[in-house]
Amino acid sequence: MKNKIVSGIRPTGNLHLGNYFGALKNFLRLQEESDCYFFIADYHSLTTHPTPENLQGNVKQVLAEFIACGMDPDKACIYVQSDVPETIELYLFFNMNAYLGELQRVTTFKDKARKQPDNVNAGLLTYPTLMAADILIHRASKVPVGKDQEQNLEMTRTFAKRFNHMYNTEYFPEPVAYNFGEELVKVPGLDGSGKMGKSEGFGNAIFLIDDEATIKKKIMKAKTDSGPTEKNSTPPDYIQNLFALMNIVSKEETVKFFKDAFADCNIRYGDMKKQLAEDMNEFIAPTRDKILSISSNDELLSKIAKQGRDKARESAQQTIREVRDIIGFKSI
Ligand code: TYM
């Protein structure tokens, strides 16, 4: 069987730099050489109860952003998760062998339960089984994602192994979180607290749609201090985060210039942030312009979604047929 690749992104807002470097950049390379399925995880986004208007608008927006970044519907299968309801049948099967204790121990569940104590729904709890279904519905073996998804992938392997063991088969592969030959990526946010994310409040994330002024405003607001006082000291986390962002959008010599200045205690954070804002804008501008032109092209987006749906369903239907047979659902 050909090596299959699957990954998804929740449509809960515009795509940001973390999504790009954690996932999309890998998609773009993988679509050139593998059998790829990239989807918009709209079922997953229901855990936060979006309105119907927001749900549809966000799905369209993310699809436009995928295409603007260079995802090619003729090379990869790009689809909307809810267009492939077979996923839900596999989700049900996995849920029958997923246990409360192990689901409650998943870090992302614990985080979400802490952040939204009034909405700790069963969808949140069973998020990892739906993710396993997304991946295994195409029997994929590699999943390009950022570091934050590592534990979910571990759960996917657990469910695959459990199914195989239970039915004495080797039907499902044990997929791994994947980054092109390197370590999984964690892009830091601008607020100095941790990873870049959509839900961390304005200013933490840089979106691929952000205009020049917004990028500058966010970066100039990032936390700094009065600078190092000891030569060759280790930068505090929030300064390391700025260097990490610089590393991904600036030239090597630019990063070196500011690192040397830091080591010599003569760094000017204002200059560093201005430079970072400029480089960031240069990196984002071409994609931003494409997003703006594609997102109003309903005809194109709907054509791409249909093309993806047909291919994804064909693959999903085959898996469901075979899984039903293994489980023992046979016509009588
Ligand atoms: P989501 O929508 O939160 O993020 C989409 C992708 O972006 C990556 N990412 C990051 N990578 C590095 N640094 C960051 N700061 C950062 N923020 C986000 C994520 O790792 C992810 O790859 N559960 C998934 C969606 C999903 C999925 C799947 C993924 C549903 N089913 C099946 C893979 C396979 C999620 O919430 O990603």
**pLDDT tens-digit profile of 148-161?**
999 999 999 999 99
Range of the domain at 222: 209-292
Do residues 259 and 281 share a domain? yes
pLDDT (mean) for 160-181: 95
Cβ-based neighbour number of residue 110 at 10 Å:
11
Asked if residue 197 belongs to a domain, the reply is no
Do residues 171 and 37 share a domain? yes
The pLDDT, as a whole number, for residue 192 is 77
Q: What is the CATH number of the domain that holds 256?
A: 1.10.240.10
* Ligand 1, atom 14, residue with closest C-alpha: 18
Asked if residue 195 belongs to a domain, the reply is no
**What tokens appear for 258 in the block?**
């500011």
Question: pLDDT tens for residues 25-55?
Answer: 999 999 998 999 999 999 999 998 999 999 9
Do residues 229 and 154 share a domain? no
1 pLDDT more than 60 = no
Report residue 233's pLDDT band, with 50, 70 and 90 as the boundaries: very high
200 pLDDT more than 70 = no
Lowest mean pLDDT among 152-166, 188-202, 265-279, 284-298: 188-202
CA distance 86 to 318: 10
pLDDT (mean) for 279-285: 98
**What angle, 0 to 180 degrees and rounded to 10, lies between the N-to-C axes of helices 150-166 and 127-136?**
70
How far, in Å, is the centroid of ligand 1 from the Cα of 9? 5
Do residues 78 and 172 share a domain? yes
CA distance 290 to 292: 5
How far, in Å, is the centroid of ligand 1 from the Cα of 322? 29
Question: pLDDT tens for residues 215-227?
Answer: 999 999 999 999 9
Do residues 123 and 272 share a domain? no
CA distance 73 to 226: 49
Do residues 285 and 321 share a domain? no
How far, in Å, is the centroid of ligand 1 from the Cα of 226? 35
Q: What is the CATH number of the domain that holds 63?
A: 3.40.50.620
Asked if residue 200 belongs to a domain, the reply is no
Do residues 49 and 179 share a domain? yes
* Ligand 1, atom 17, residue with closest C-alpha: 18
The string of DSSP codes covering 69-110 is HT--TTTSEEEEGGG-THHHHHHHHHHTT--HHHHHT-HHHH
The pLDDT, as a whole number, for residue 255 is 97
How far, in Å, is the centroid of ligand 1 from the Cα of 214? 24
Report residue 234's pLDDT band, with 50, 70 and 90 as the boundaries: very high
* Residue recorded with tokens 């809810």: 82
CA distance 135 to 129: 10
Q: Which atom of ligand 1 is nearest to the CA of 196?
A: 15
User: Considering its fold, how many domains does the chain have in total?
Assistant: 2
Cβ-based neighbour number of residue 42 at 10 Å:
21
Asked if residue 198 belongs to a domain, the reply is no
* Ligand 1, atom 5, residue with closest C-alpha: 9
Do residues 227 and 278 share a domain? yes
By CB atoms closer than 10 A (0-12, 13-18, 19+), residue 115 is exposed
pLDDT (mean) for 267-294: 97
The pLDDT, as a whole number, for residue 2 is 66
Asked if residue 121 belongs to a domain, the reply is yes
Asked if residue 270 belongs to a domain, the reply is yes
Over pLDDT 90: what percentage of the chain? 92
pTM for the full model?
0.95
For a mutational test of ligand 1's pocket, the pick from 148, 198, 245, i.e. the residue with the most ligand atoms closer than 8 A to its C-beta, is: 148
Lowest mean pLDDT among 10-19, 30-39, 90-99, 190-199: 190-199
How far, in Å, is the centroid of ligand 1 from the Cα of 146? 6
Asked if residue 193 belongs to a domain, the reply is no
By CB atoms closer than 10 A (0-12, 13-18, 19+), residue 192 is middle
Do residues 41 and 176 share a domain? yes
Over pLDDT 70: what percentage of the chain? 98
Do residues 29 and 163 share a domain? yes
Q: What is the mean pLDDT of the chain?
A: 95
Do residues 87 and 154 share a domain? yes
Name all residues whose Cβ lies below 6 A of ligand 1: 6-10, 18-19, 21-23, 41, 44, 131, 134-135, 143, 145-146, 148-149, 152, 185-187, 195-197
Tell me which residue of 201, 47, 46 sits closest to 120, measured CA to CA. Answer: 47
Question: pLDDT tens for residues 49-102?
Answer: 999 999 999 999 999 999 999 999 999 999 999 999 999 999 999 999 999 999
For a mutational test of ligand 1's pocket, the pick from 12, 17, 25, 145, i.e. the residue with the most ligand atoms closer than 8 A to its C-beta, is: 145
**Active-site residues: which are they?**
112, 195, 198
Q: Which atom of ligand 1 is nearest to the CA of 127?
A: 23
Do residues 159 and 230 share a domain? no
Asked if residue 192 belongs to a domain, the reply is no
Report residue 198's pLDDT band, with 50, 70 and 90 as the boundaries: confident
